[in-house]
Structure 1
Amino acid sequence: MDQIESIKHDISLLTEGDIYLFRQGTHARLYDKLGAHQIVHKNQQGTFFAVWAPNAQSVSVIGDFNNWSADAHPLKMRSDDSGVWEGFIPGLLSGTVYKYHIVSRYHGYRVDKGDPFAFFWETPPKTASKTWDMDYEWNDADWMNNRKAVNDLDAPLSIYEMHSGSWRRLVEEDNRPLNYRELAKWLPEYVREMNFTHVEFLPVTEHPFYGSWGYQTTGYFSPTARYGTPQDFMYLVDCLHQQGIGVILDWVPSHFPDDAHGLHYFDGTYLFEHADPKRGYHPEWQSYIFNYGRHEVRAFLISSALFWLDKYHIDGLRVDAVASMLYLDYGRREGEWTPNQHGGNEDLDAVSFLRSLNEAVYRDYPGVQTIAEESTAWPAVSRPTYVGGLGFGMKWNMGWMHDTLTYFSKDPVYRKHHHNQLTFSLWYAFNENFLLPFSHDEVVHGKGSMIGKMPGDDWQKFANLRALYGYMYGHPGKKLLFMGNEFAQWSEWNHDRSLEWELLQHAPHRGIQDWLKDLNHFYRNEAALYEQDFASEGFEWVDCNDWEESTISFIRSAKRSGDVILVVCNFTPITRMNYRVGVPRGGWWREVLNSDATQYGGSGHGNLGGVEAAPVSVHGRSHSLMLSLPPLATLFFKAEE
């Protein structure tokens, strides 16, 4: 490397306004000011550094370029009490490995830290940051101009959730995962073929422990280097957008790990985390909790969220573990937490932060969505902040997921005793903007695979799974399915192995895949199945009381009058002949989808393409259909106009 000049302190990217907003907690673009930035100063190209470390006695930039010397390139603290250290190093270009050597004012503590705002890091297990140029020429203008309509709450949303490192692996190359460019070659085509609307990536933010799946983040402004560079990840997003596929990132503002190079005890004090261990340490996850009451920390996190929407054109953020943020006693026993000033268990700082976060996202990027993984009955999670809500666009429906999987795990002979687990979700289905998740969490930690949860012999297992997916797509709420579930992988998900793509050699697995492909296509083309997902006007029971025969029937409606879909489910292995179901009008009702069709691996029972409604009143309706209900099947009917 060429000789690097001594550091300069006669330039700053931070204005007085930046510092004001940073200290106020409302600066949403800190990534343009803090961290490492390639600039030209006095006709010299180099890198400007700025890092927040208010309790440091000294901070210097170290790396290969100066033989990791703590004396070679010291930063200078600003004189405005912001706690920001900064300096410009001429000749230091993109790709340089660096850390901050921090000497604290307290306890003689000194440490080498990665840059909290680094755009790129070394590939783990290495832990240094890298200076990086973020230039990229995007080719997704059509998508970006039209995505608001695609992401709207009354649009179809069918998400393919995936882990980048285990979707496909190259066994012939020492079982290595695909890189971002290789994913860009295969993933958009597959997702488009399967008719999903969006891909949701488990956290791609840099993380030291691969087995955390990204949920223990150290680099809040960097995609993991395991699969390539920032531009490589931009290219993957770009390719998905060019195929009409939205991209959602799993984002983790709830906690961070204690790795020495990360955010923990950053300047010899509890800077990013809360100093009180009853609020700043997560006993179950053995990780640290952000201090949401500290303005600079709020600005750091909000800037991270907006960074991915800005620099990477991301279309939505799934915010992880929101429940753990909302409750002071989350994961804690009596005596391990301190009530708030009102005596309650609500973390008022976290509530305020989440509202500010969502206000900033929807203010600056109205075409995106935020989605909360929130597992409690906290009210108005997906309602605007101006009516007292948290401001998220949607919320995962964990109650529906647990009840549904519990029901389907029962032998059909016992299901009639658990019928309420199917019907209960409609009592609260419109209290929030719900998304129905069958996520990675349901196929790990000994829970087995989706097909493995189904009872009966192999034929019944596949039939149950097809019926379950059909019921899911008929039920109000947006959809999410984790990779491998779309072709009934037998094994529990393992992040160190590829999905079992070889199963598609077998007809039952291809049948499940074809069923999902057709469900997604039908769902995306029928407004009745998505347009009023969050309004009670979009759903009406036909019969929710036939517990004895474990059947349900309901109608989904579009905003346009008369545009309806009838969904009928038989969750027993018995074919039910001459089963009468009430419908709102006469005429021909076409059987548009049948999970028991032979092309999906079913027995081929059905209604010969449709049924003429008879003027026979049942279920309080003037007309009815006399149906044949196949075993363990979900049927969709549409009235011909």
Structure 2
Amino acid sequence: MTGVINRPLQSVEPFSLFSSGDIALFQAGSHYRLYEKFGAHTLEYEGVQGTYFAVWAPDAAFVAVMGDFNQWDHYSHTLLPRWDSSGIWEGFIPGVEAGCLYKYFIRANSGEELFKGDPFATRWEVRPKTASVVHPLDHTWHDKKWMQQRKKHNSLSSPFSVYEVHLGSWRRPDPNDEKSVYSYGEIAAMLVPYVKEMGFTHVELMPVMEHPFDGSWGYQLTGYYAATSRYGTPQDFMAMVEAFHAAGIGVILDWVPSHFPHDAHGLYRFDGSHVYEYADMRKGYHPDWNSYIFNYSRNEVRSFLLSNAIYWLDKFHIDGLRVDAVASMIHLDYSRERGAWEPNELGGNENLEAISFLKKLNETVYALFPDVQTIAEDSTNHYGVSRPTFMGGLGFGMKWMMGWMNDTLDYFQKDPIHRKWYQNDLTFSLVYAFSENYMLPLSHDEVVHGKSPLLYKMPGDDWQKCANLRLLYGYMYTHPGTKLLFMGASWGRLPNGITNGSWTGTC
């Protein structure tokens, strides 16, 4: 890696990627391509090669870029605030090239000093390291055939069967080492033919955005614009998406616009103030996940999230977004005791700002990418989650049918001799099966946190467990709605590989 010319400040006149129109859209909550402006962009300016940096830190008194190119000095390369009071700090640093590590040194107006990763970084160091990496997203795509035919594959009138996968634990090079993982390329070589052979039409990847803690399975994000470096580069991830497309399989990403962790290098109190999260912890703190909730009333935050959704569809050719924890976004009293939340201006429990954002999100996604799907994980009876916004709905393409999942598992866990008294658990879902565009999920939520695999939930001996599981899947695949199975649920594996004659211990 080459060094940077040793200059205390920028060596060229101030330079910006932002137009006045960009600022207006950013502040209106309507900019959906901020990734083309913020972050680190390698370019040539006035004959000089370098990198342009831009970061939003409205309550900062001083911002500088520190990295391996200046020995992590706090003051060598300062950024300048824009004249328009947008809160954006920017600057061009000569000599900084792809592969350089960096962070932002921020001194808040309060005097507090912070060391933050770039919210728009396209790549981060492999955990537990936390620096951002200057990394262009150059890639030549070879999935034109898929993209031209995607509308047919993604249609609600076409078969839609989803295999949900966590890339880090689907398979491991060393089963006894939880830190042992395959690369994106190695995963693709094994996973693509498996998904194809099993007859799934789509794969849903649990969050691949950068996150510091393996145990979160990606649901506590710090790098919203970066495919995690655990398995390789962003281009390696793009190649994996291409491999799925070449096999005729769509790729859905879990997306988490509902909350983020308090890691020191992340979004929380980014410039010493509550920039991305609500300042009122009755709205800004999530008690279940010890994390913080985006401020959906702040237009700049709305632009950040809106751009992030479009980013994955645009730059990575993703075919759908499954939006995590929608219920927690749209309800002020979600998982809160009486007195721990404040009603909205109409006296209700809805987060009107989050509802407004989700409508804007879906309108924008379907306007730009009409052949993709957005899927809401929502466990409530909120009206019209998968209905168009002009009809008062949220505008999603699909909604998880959590009621069906709970009722069905309750039914199948009962001994068959008692089931005749609980037939309503099977029939009730048909009362409302066509009120939304439902997806039937038997997801990771049913096995995490000490919950048993689906096979172990079944009653009876080993033979009966397998028979019950086959019956459950038969019922699921004949019930109205699209389907989703979590990895491992597609084959029933009995404890210790029990055998019974010609039966080898799998269902």
Partner of 2:163: 160
Q: Does 1:428 align with 2:432?
A: yes
Partner of 1:252: 256
> Which gives a bigger RCO, structure 1 or 2 (Cα 8 Å, sep 6+)?
2
Q: Distance in 1 between matches of 2:438 and 2:195?
A: 23
- Kindly provide the CA deviation profile for residues 124-151 of structure 1, in whole angstroms up to 9, marking residues without a partner as x: 1101100001011111110001001110
Label 1:218 to 1:504 Cα distance change in 2 as closer, same or farther (>3 A).
farther
User: Does structure 2 retain, via aligned residues, the 8 Å contact 1:449–1:490?
Assistant: no
Q: Distance in 2 between matches of 1:34 and 1:438?
A: 38
CA apart distance, 1:403: 0.2
Q: Alignment partner of 1:465: what SS?
A: helix
Residue 138 of structure 2 is aligned with which of 111, 135, 138? 135
Partner of 1:555: none
Label 1:15 to 1:486 Cα distance change in 2 as closer, same or farther (>3 A).
same
Q: Alignment partner of 2:277: what SS?
A: coil
Q: Alignment partner of 2:340: what SS?
A: coil
Residue 126 of structure 2 is aligned with which of 116, 119, 123? 123
Q: Distance in 2 between matches of 1:170 and 1:101?
A: 38
Partner of 2:398: 394
Q: Distance in 2 between matches of 1:147 and 1:284?
A: 37
CA apart distance, 1:3: 3.6
Q: Does 1:316 align with 2:320?
A: yes
Q: Alignment partner of 1:221: what SS?
A: strand
Partner of 1:4: 4
User: Does structure 1 retain, via aligned residues, the 8 Å contact 2:494–2:505?
Assistant: no
Q: Distance in 2 between matches of 1:507 and 1:379?
A: 51
- Kindly provide the CA deviation profile for residues 266-300 of structure 1, in whole angstroms up to 9, marking residues without a partner as x: 01100000010111111121100000000000000
Partner of 1:86: 90
Partner of 1:169: 172
Q: Distance in 2 between matches of 1:268 and 1:441?
A: 35
User: Does structure 2 retain, via aligned residues, the 8 Å contact 1:433–1:477?
Assistant: yes
Partner of 1:280: 284
Q: Distance in 2 between matches of 1:206 and 1:51?
A: 18
Letter in 1 for 2:112: Y
Partner of 2:457: 453
Q: Does 1:375 align with 2:375?
A: no
Letter in 2 for 1:19: I
- Kindly provide the CA deviation profile for residues 43-73 of structure 1, in whole angstroms up to 9, marking residues without a partner as x: 2211100000011001000011111111100
User: Does structure 1 retain, via aligned residues, the 8 Å contact 2:61–2:108?
Assistant: yes
Partner of 1:358: 362
Partner of 1:268: 272
Letter in 2 for 1:76: L
Q: Distance in 2 between matches of 1:454 and 1:9?
A: 69
- Kindly provide the CA deviation profile for residues 510-563 of structure 1, in whole angstroms up to 9, marking residues without a partner as x: 874xxxxxxxxxxxxxxxxxxxxxxxxxxxxxxxxxxxxxxxxxxxxxxxxxxx
More strand by share: 1
- Kindly provide the CA deviation profile for residues 328-371 of structure 1, in whole angstroms up to 9, marking residues without a partner as x: 01111011101101111100000000000001100101110000
Matches for 1:494-513 after TM superposition, within 5 Å: 512=507
Partner of 2:445: 441
Q: Distance in 1 between matches of 2:422 and 2:17?
A: 63
Label 1:183 to 1:426 Cα distance change in 2 as closer, same or farther (>3 A).
same
Q: Distance in 2 between matches of 1:291 and 1:503?
A: 52
CA apart distance, 1:509: 6.7
User: Please, which runs of 5 or more residues in structure 1 have no aligned partner?
Assistant: 492-499, 513-641
Letter in 1 for 2:214: Y
Q: Distance in 2 between matches of 1:198 and 1:45?
A: 42
Point out the structure with max Rg over C-alpha.
1
Q: Alignment partner of 1:380: what SS?
A: coil
Q: Alignment partner of 1:112: what SS?
A: strand
TM-score by length of 1: 0.77
Partner of 2:50: 46
Partner of 1:223: 227
User: Does structure 2 retain, via aligned residues, the 8 Å contact 1:9–1:86?
Assistant: no
TM-score by length of 2: 0.97
Residue 336 of structure 2 is aligned with which of 326, 332, 335? 332
Label 1:301 to 1:503 Cα distance change in 2 as closer, same or farther (>3 A).
farther
User: Please, which runs of 5 or more residues in structure 2 have no aligned partner?
Assistant: none
Q: Distance in 2 between matches of 1:157 and 1:503?
A: 33
Q: Distance in 2 between matches of 1:2 and 1:356?
A: 44
Partner of 2:26: 22
CA apart distance, 1:9: 4.6
CA apart distance, 1:446: 2.0
